[in-house]
Structure 1
Amino acid sequence: MRPPTDTGRAHGPVGTAADAGDVQGAAPEEDAPEGVPRDAPKDAPKAASTARSSAVMAAGSLVSRGTGFARSAVVAAALGTIGPTADGYAVGNSLPTIVYMLLLGGALNAVFVPELVRAAKEHDDGGAAYTDRLITVCVVALLAITATAVWAAPAIVDAYTDYTGRQAAMTTAFARYCLPQIFFLGLFTLLGQVLNARGRFGAMMWAPVLNNVVVIGVFGVFLALAMGGGDTLDATETALLGWGTTAGIAVQALALVPALRAARFRWRPRFDWRGSGLTRPLRSAGWLVLLVLANQAAYWVTTRLATTAGLQGGPGYSAYNNAYVLWVVPHGIITVSLMTALLPRMSAAAADKDTAALRRDVSHALRASAAAVVPAACALLALAQPVMALVFGHGRTSAGDTAAMAGILMAFAPGLAAMSGQYVLSRTFYALGDTRTPFLINLVIVALNAGLSVTAAQLLPARWAVTGMAAAYSVALFAGWALTGRLLSRRLAVPRPWRSSPVAAHARLLLAAVPATALGHLAASGTARAGVAVAAAAGAAVVLLVFVLLARPLRLTELHALLSGVRRRAARR
């Protein structure tokens, strides 16, 4: 399962990518009214309810993450979670997203929607020709990058690992089979952002379900044929898993075509780029490319350190990646869904220089996402052991492996709130057309993360090195969140930002987080003998109950609204 690409994070394993307060049914999609240009995005603020759009995306993301867990379980059963085969597949399958994000993905993900919204306002044809040119430029770049990456696969693998012999050969083979994903990842982002700019958000969040289904089927065949008996895979086994994983990404991208046709979008390649206004997005993209380069420098450090720890007998890159994949689930379901729905509206407000509206949207996004993200972080911290065992404790994965991954997840957990907040604030800068400031802030995050990760690898034994790296990322995210908030509050002229409603809401949520985490852990420990599923369910119920009981006394307004909305919909049904 791949989360949506994210330039707002300083690094992270790649290869697995809502208005939580008022989730309602999906808004019906309407055909463009007569007289509207074929490519004109609808007016983002009026196209549909943000809450409903977020609900559609959150539901799709939830199903995607659910099928992603099934996918992770099947992969763990087939390859294990710690060892040369698991690490080889994890590295090979991560390289496409690394290269894609490094060279193009970050720019597409953050620049595309604001540019399409501005183009719709500035051009008589609703931005149709501009959109065609922008997509053509990106498709040509994707083809060139993909071909070059496949050719350079051995050098890329060597840059990220210290593998030799059969391990290096297997990982390089995985990379060659998986690197064509670069083109389909880019195509998925391009088509999805075109839909988002038109107020159609559901398809991009639901399409990854098909990806997961394809990969589950491929690994199911692998298990059914009793393949992969040794420490490394032979050529046939590697080809099956590599090409099968790439097929999932291809299906995911092509699944957006029907939604585009329903939106009356038809891409017509255009090569008349000179004097067409593409300089502005390319300049903005330049800062994002630099941002991603900095991110990947930190990610390269983490990958080298994690693979080295794995070679020394401790948890390695695969364990780090598995913990990360589980950790980002709430962020993908809640914050990404919410900001995807809000970004067109925020971009329109920025284009109209409506600072007051922009401030309101940022405040709402911070408070609404935190209302669900903070309880989720508490649950991951309190229930790391049973949750890891439930998702990954299958096949060749031992109890010791799941315990090691649980420690990594616990180190990640506190940083979830910071990751969510940082994502909201960085997307606000992108709506303003400013990609330079996030790049400069990101340098601070990257430097802190890389430095702390190296320190952890040097001072901690191999058993705990990767756990220390996860904690380093959490610390770096909190520092970046604070710095970004300070700079954005100046940009938006927020009076007394440390006394603002988002800061107060986070403080009250943290007061509830302490007893919720402690009591949830006790509940999970007390029911451990009944099995990991029961322990996880009991602990999660207690965490939720504590937040429910404290919602009114602590004035957790957004959480109370979320719970009230759930109760109303349950009553109606």
Structure 2
Amino acid sequence: MNGGLYRSAHATPDGVRPVAEDGVTLISVDSGVIGQEQALPPEELHADGDGGTAGNSAIMAAGSLVSRLIGFVRNALIGITLGAGIGDAYTSAQFLPGQIYELLLGGILSSVLIPLLVRRRKSDPDGGLEFTRKLLTFAIVSLGIATILVVAAAPLITAIQASSDNNAAYRDLVTHFAYLILPIIFFTGLSALIGAVLNVRGHFAAPTWAPILNNLVVIATCGVFIMFFSKDNLTEETISGGAILLMGLGTLLGMVVQAIGLLPALRKVGFRWKWRWDPRSLGLGEIGRLAGWMLCYVAANQVAVFVVVRILNRVADGDSASVLAFNNVFLLTMMAHGIIGVSVMTALLPKMSAAAADGRYADVSADLSRGIRLTATALAPIAVVYGVLAAPIAVMLFQGGKYTNANALATGTVLAVAAFAVIPLSISYLCTYAFYSLQGNKTAALINLPVVAVRIGAYLVFAAVLSKAHSAAGMTAGNALSYLVSALISLAVLRRRIGRLNLGSVAAALMKVLIAAAVAAALGLLVVHFLPGAGAPSGRGEAFVQLLAGGAVILIVYLAAATLLRVREVSQVMGMVRRKLGR
């Protein structure tokens, strides 16, 4: 599972991209930060494998579930192993390769290079073999040069990201971790490129499961660290060079193992890479023009990432929720979106794309409206659980070792705020996918600019008015606000583009969902109030009781209230869950 923030508006918590039953494919890569997800129109990609899209979907769903579970073990162990202070420095350094990789390759890989590979595979007599070899050769050389330059510039990069309010020892620690972790850029790109080649050739299992190897290596690294360094007095000033070396190289080794783990799959699909240096034949000018808007989209998001990490580094004193806590909460938010929102999006995108291609904009509107209602209905109880049971969730997942109960409860405060971001996040994504179905990548990029401006503005305002203890919660509130703005702007633009969006029926459905969620939240809070720990558990025992009792009440009351309010999407969501379990 990735340990980062977001790189674009299409982030997943573990880098695993699902394949819909109708063939929408998304590339898998796990670089230690949350990855970018771009769906291909169904007509652009066809699986050549034996299992068909239904089999591929099952394989990737299983891989996604396993990766999420192991990823949470990984993230929890990082906090347990390093604690809040050193964990903040490690996480801050871990963002860097993902941010830089996204600027170099991540955005254009899925939006430009994958469709290009698909077209050459169809049109070239050799199935695009030579073109793919030339593209890989050029990309590997470019990634290698870029990685060397970035590693050499590590002190400058970390100086931009770290705050002047941090002590010198903290800034030096971020830099030391960065020297060891930044080479991940090369192996992240290599892993993504191999995954793209495999996906284009109809092989989906290896790119889905390979990130698990990464997680296992980092988990093993944490285990070795605990064996040899757990008794040390770990602070920014006292952590030893050996401890830094172990965590940094272990993190790098995870991505190396992931990339190596994909090589057998290349042989299986019959692809043999050979050195082919011929950049002129790649049409780099055309690639650059096509990638322009996506680069604009990605670059804007990276500015926001730098800002939020810099702000949170100012409060990275080990006591306040900072970079590590913010990151863990973001991953929980993205997990909810990944389970529900992505499932809905990948099911609707092919239908919306086909309808848009035929000029049937009323059908695009109907599918979008249905997707919003389904997503909100399914995510509402999850948002309530996050809000009401934030503290016991944080204690259960993250408390232990160097990560104290106070650290966990501070993380719970951030998660309670994130509950308000869950539904706006997925609705904004649905709107973006609607633009993709209309081939409106430029529009999506232009909308993203004011959204990122709102996000950064909210970061700065909350940082100025809130105390250090609540800075991470404020940054999460800034995210929620930007998602809401993104959804509102997108819906307004879509209405002008495709006509009526049935927003009246959507608003009525959302109001019913909101009422059901409010009733469930009120009764959940009431139940938790009378349990041991009263919402602030001191350990996993109290946290487990609160989660079990509070979670059961919230789910039952929500379903009952939604049924009484005649929220028809409830039965559709339950049917979707039953079908997935049956499969």
| TM-score of the aligned structures, taking structure 2 as reference length | 0.82
Q: What is the alpha-carbon distance in structure 2 between the residues aligned to residue 278 and residue 216 of structure 1?
A: 40
Q: Please tell me whether residue 538 in structure 1 is matched to residue 549 in structure 2.
A: yes
Give CA deviations for 1:167-200 in whole Å, capped at 9, x if unaligned. Answer: 2222211101111111122223223344444555
Q: What is the alpha-carbon distance in structure 2 between the residues aligned to residue 389 and residue 339 of structure 1?
A: 32
Q: Please tell me whether residue 295 in structure 1 is matched to residue 306 in structure 2.
A: no
Task: Report the counterpart of residue 383 of structure 1 in structure 2.
Answer: 389
Equivalent position SS for 1:401? helix
Q: What is the alpha-carbon distance in structure 2 between the residues aligned to residue 171 and residue 63 of structure 1?
A: 30
Q: Please tell me whether residue 486 in structure 1 is matched to residue 492 in structure 2.
A: yes
Give 1:175's aligned amino acid: A
Equivalent position SS for 1:394? coil
Percent sequence identity is: 37
Give CA deviations for 1:409-454 in whole Å, capped at 9, x if unaligned. Answer: 1112211122222223324434554432222111111111111111
Q: What is the alpha-carbon distance in structure 2 between the residues aligned to residue 156 and residue 353 of structure 1?
A: 47
Q: What is the alpha-carbon distance in structure 1 between the residues aligned to residue 48 and residue 371 of structure 2?
A: 15
Q: Please tell me whether residue 79 in structure 1 is matched to residue 82 in structure 2.
A: yes
Equivalent position SS for 1:414? coil
| Alpha-carbon offset, residue 376 of structure 1 | 2.0
Distance 1:359 1:414, change over 3 A: same
Equivalent position SS for 1:62? helix
Q: Please tell me whether residue 400 in structure 1 is matched to residue 401 in structure 2.
A: no
Equivalent position SS for 1:298? helix
Deviates more, 1:371-380 or 1:477-486: 371-380
Q: 500, 504, 509: which is aligned to 1:495?
A: 500
Q: What is the alpha-carbon distance in structure 2 between the residues aligned to residue 133 and residue 342 of structure 1?
A: 35
Task: Report the counterpart of residue 30 of structure 1 in structure 2.
Answer: none
| Alpha-carbon offset, residue 243 of structure 1 | 0.7
Q: 509, 514, 521: which is aligned to 1:510?
A: 514
Contact persistence 1:18–1:369 (CA under 8 A): no
Give 1:495's aligned amino acid: R
Give 2:522's aligned amino acid: A
Q: What is the alpha-carbon distance in structure 2 between the residues aligned to residue 47 and residue 342 of structure 1?
A: 24
Distance 1:326 1:352, change over 3 A: same
Task: Report the counterpart of residue 91 of structure 2 in structure 1.
Answer: 90
Task: Report the counterpart of residue 409 of structure 1 in structure 2.
Answer: 415
| Alpha-carbon offset, residue 478 of structure 1 | 0.6
Alignment: residue pair count: 551
Task: Report the counterpart of residue 175 of structure 1 in structure 2.
Answer: 178
Taking the TM superposition and a 5 Å limit, the aligned residue runs for 1:146-225 are: 146-162=147-163, 163-197=166-200, 200-225=203-228
| Alpha-carbon offset, residue 148 of structure 1 | 1.3
Task: Report the counterpart of residue 521 of structure 1 in structure 2.
Answer: 525
Q: What is the alpha-carbon distance in structure 1 between the residues aligned to residue 158 and residue 291 of structure 2?
A: 26
Measured on the aligned residues, the alpha-carbon RMSD in Å equals 3.8
Contact persistence 1:525–1:535 (CA under 8 A): no
Distance 1:45 1:337, change over 3 A: farther
Q: Please tell me whether residue 231 in structure 1 is matched to residue 235 in structure 2.
A: yes
Give 2:513's aligned amino acid: L
Contact persistence 1:446–1:476 (CA under 8 A): yes
Distance 1:546 1:251, change over 3 A: farther
Q: What is the alpha-carbon distance in structure 1 between the residues aligned to residue 363 and residue 328 of structure 2?
A: 39
Give 1:438's aligned amino acid: A
Q: What is the alpha-carbon distance in structure 2 between the residues aligned to residue 526 and residue 42 of structure 1?
A: 55
Q: Which runs of 5+ in 1 are unaligned?
A: 24-39
Give 1:98's aligned amino acid: Q
Deviates more, 1:385-394 or 1:395-404: 395-404
Give 1:153's aligned amino acid: A
Q: What is the alpha-carbon distance in structure 1 between the residues aligned to residue 179 and residue 544 of structure 2?
A: 38
Q: Please tell me whether residue 459 in structure 1 is matched to residue 470 in structure 2.
A: no
Task: Report the counterpart of residue 9 of structure 1 in structure 2.
Answer: 9
| Alpha-carbon offset, residue 458 of structure 1 | 1.0
Q: 306, 311, 314: which is aligned to 1:308?
A: 314
Equivalent position SS for 1:225? helix
Q: Which runs of 5+ in 2 are unaligned?
A: 23-42, 534-540
Contact persistence 1:375–1:543 (CA under 8 A): yes
Contact persistence 1:284–1:433 (CA under 8 A): no
| Alpha-carbon offset, residue 240 of structure 1 | 0.5
| Alpha-carbon offset, residue 256 of structure 1 | 3.0
